[in-house]
Every structure is written in C-alpha cells, then in structure tokens.
Amino acid sequence: MDNKFAAEEINFFHNHIELLKPAMIGSHLPACIHLENFFRNPKERLDDTLPYISFGGSIYYDRTVEYIINTGDYYICAYVASGKLEFGNDDQSIKCSEKNVLIAYKNSSYTLKSISRELTLYLYFINGAAIDSYCREIISQSGHKHFYNTQFELHSFIVNNLEKLNYFLRTTEKSNLFMESIMFQYVFVRFLTTSNTNDPFTNNIPLHIAKLKRIFDTRYYESHTLNSLQDELQISKYTLCRDFSTYYGTSPLKYLNKVRIDRAKELLLETNQTIVSIGNEVGIDNTTHFINLFKRQTGDTPLKYRQSHLGTGLNGNILFPSTESL
C-alpha cells in the first residue's frame, strides 16, 4: 500500500503523531507502517455527548518503530493484538505484550516504541462527554494517574468486537454513529471491569495461602476438596478457609468456582467446544451442575453467554452481526 494521505489526514498526523524512527517523508508514511485497516471516520459527529472516533482501526508494523503521540483533545484507546511495545511518558513507562489494553488521556504526550519486530495494534482517537466521564473515574483510581493499562484475557472476544467496530467506523451511513458509540462503549466497559489480580507472593500473604491460590489459578481443572488441599499443604482445612477468606474475601471453593467459570467464559468465546467439553475441561464433570453454576455467576447459561457475546444464532441482530456479514 502507498501510505499517502490527503491534506486532512496529513494535518491530523502532524498534529498528533511525531515519528522518531523511521521518519515521515513529506506526505508519505514509512512503508513499514501498514494502515490498510486504519480509517478516518467519514461521518460528522452528531453532538459532544456520544463517544466519537475521529480515526481508528488496526495498524500493523513490520519493523521496530518509535513515535510520540500528542493526544490533544482526544483520548486514545489501544489494544495490543500481537507483539510487544513500550509505552509511557516522563513519569511512568511500561512494557506491554499481547492482550494488553492502554488508555491515554487527552492533552498529554506519550512515547510508543515497538520492542518486537512485528506489532499489531488497534488504535482509536476518541472524545465526547461520555468518555470524559469514564476517564475521570479511571484517573481517580490508584495507579492510573498518567494512563490506564490492564491485561484482557478474552483475546478472541475483543478482536472480534473491535473488527465489528471497524466495520461501522468505515461506513458512511450517519445512523452508524450510534452503532459505533454502542459498540465502543460495550468494549470499553468490558476493559474497565476487568480486574487485575496481583501476584500473592508480592503482597506479604502467608505462603500457604499463596500456594493455595496458585493451585486454584493453575490447576483449576483438577478435582479439589478441602480434605485433599489439607493433605497437600499440610495445613488444617479450617485454617485454610479462615486465612484464605481473610486475604481474598471469599471461601477457597467459591474462589475455585470463579476461576473455573472465568476460564469457561474464555473457552466459550475462543473455541467451538461443546458445553459438555468445556465443563469437563474446567474441572466440572457434571454438566447440569456446570450450567447452573455458570448461570448463578453470570446470569446466563453458557449457550446464551456465547450467543450474546459473539452474536451467533441471533436472528436480525444488527448490534453484533456475524463475521460473514462484515
């Protein structure tokens, strides 16, 4: 692709992107930056309330790059689909790999540097009163003063929905501004409600409780009882229950079930496995029990959860069209 843009696009890039490596030559971007799936929104905004994406889509880099982003009046929402990058400002810098989400605040400057030979990044310049409200809440949280970063494990789910967002973004029908807004907020809120669990070994948590949690996080597919855990850890099951609840606010087996259901949600969205197979894979062999437990935690049966998040099997579904319709 010839990375040449019209005057409007060039002005936008000059105002918001300062390439450090490699440099931009005239109205041409370096050939290593592939923008076939990065779009200027052809539709004018309706008002200042709804989230409005001026530019957005996926960018592929086939060599290392480095540039400064001046956000101006925009927030930037980015998702690392593959590869690794370094991102930050003078006060804070982090390294991100696949499945990481970044939200950069408006009226700020950041440096983005790829640290893998290839990088695929979903990147959106967005503003509007709704985004102001979301980001005020983010900034008020500890650790997110300069930008927001988290890891989002449901990779297929997020890429699938960002591609649907890109579909609406590149259309000219004005009514699709509402679809863009709904789709973006649907994805955005999922980002914000993703919880990061800190490594227990760094938080002065007793070793037996850290080991217990690690068993649940990595061996959730095995059969566990309080008696078997007591035998493995050589700690009274009553002590395990008391101490685990003290540090994590829930009983050990409730936490184990949450881990299992969270993993089941990933498998529902990222594979075509049957409900029975997924239940077995997460350590719940009784399918009826698996379905009831899943519904208790999510409000939906596994099948309805899969349909509502991937848009499969829903007649006349315009919010989440199937990939074939894109």
Cα distance between residue 301 and residue 303, in whole Å: 5
For position 58, what pLDDT does the model report?
Answer: 94
pLDDT band of residue 7 (cuts 50, 70, 90) is low
Query: What are 318-325's contacts with CB under 8 Å, separation 24+?
Result: 318/179, 319/179, 319/182, 319/183, 320/161, 320/164, 321/164, 321/167, 323/160, 323/163
For position 324, what pLDDT does the model report?
Answer: 36
The pLDDT > 90 percentage for the chain reads 55
For position 320, what pLDDT does the model report?
Answer: 41
CB-based contact 129:140 (threshold 8 Å) = no
What does the pLDDT look like over 82-122, one tens digit per residue?
999 999 999 999 999 988 999 999 999 999 999 998 999 99
Cα distance between residue 87 and residue 96, in whole Å: 8
CB-based contact 102:78 (threshold 8 Å) = yes
Instruction: Return the domain boundaries, the chain.
Output: 7-192, 200-310
Tell me, yes or no, if the two domains 7-192 and 200-310 fold the same way: no
Fold (topology level) of 7-192? Jelly Rolls (2.60.120)
Q: Which residues pair with residue 112 across a beta bridge?
A: 67, 87
Cα distance between residue 72 and residue 263, in whole Å: 39
Residue 204 has pLDDT above 60, yes or no: yes
CB-based contact 56:125 (threshold 8 Å) = yes
Where do we find the tokens 């102001």?
132
Tell me what the mean pLDDT of segment 48-62 comes to. 93
What pairing do the DSSP bridges indicate for beta strands 100-104 and 75-82?
Answer: antiparallel
Tokens of 145: 């003063």
pLDDT band of residue 251 (cuts 50, 70, 90) is very high
What's the 3-state SS for the chain?
CCCECCHHHHHHHHHHEEEEECCCECCECCCCEEEEEEEECCCCCCCCCCCEEEEEEEEEECCCCEEEEECCCCEEEEEEEECCEEEECCCCEEEECCCEEEEECCCCEEEEEECCCCEEEEEEEEECHHHHHHHHHHHHCCCCCCEEEEECCCHHHHHHHHHHHHHHHCCCCCCHHHHHHHHHHHHHHHHHCCCCCCCHHHCCCCHHHHHHHHHHHHCCCCCCCHHHHHHHHCCCHHHHHHHHHHHHCCCHHHHHHHHHHHHHHHHHHHCCCCHHHHHHHCCCCCHHHHHHHHHHHHCCCHHHHHHHHHCCCCCCCCCCCCHHHC
Q: Which CATH number fits domain 200-310: 1.10.10.60, 3.40.50.300, 1.20.140.160, 2.50.20.10?
A: 1.10.10.60
pLDDT band of residue 308 (cuts 50, 70, 90) is confident
Tokens of 108: 């700020």
